[in-house]
Amino acid sequence: MMDRTAIVASSSGLHARPAKIFVQAAARQDVAVRIRVGQGKAVPANSMLGVLSLGATHGTEVTLEAEGPGAQEALDALIDLLSRDLDADEVPSG
């Protein structure tokens, strides 16, 4: 199991538009990714309700976990998203 941490950069946290962008990107990954806040329960990163339930606000540290072939690439892509203000950015294509 690989894990990486990131600080949520979006000004509204992982709510509304940023959460939607993140969940859609997670769903496109070749491996299952889970996300958690602190030592809390990890939820599927491709679940809108799960991600919203984290209550991750701007500046919250989150941990992403994935396992298997492609895990590193999936985590890199999602960490990149979390490190940007998705409220200000254009919607990523793909």
Q: Which residues are catalytic?
A: 15
Nearest Cα residue to 8 out of 83, 90, 86, 91: 83
**Sheet bearing 61-66, strands edge to edge:** 2-7, 61-66, 33-37, 43-44
Token pair recorded at residue 94: 């793909």
Contact status, residue 94 vs residue 24, Cβ threshold 8 Å: no
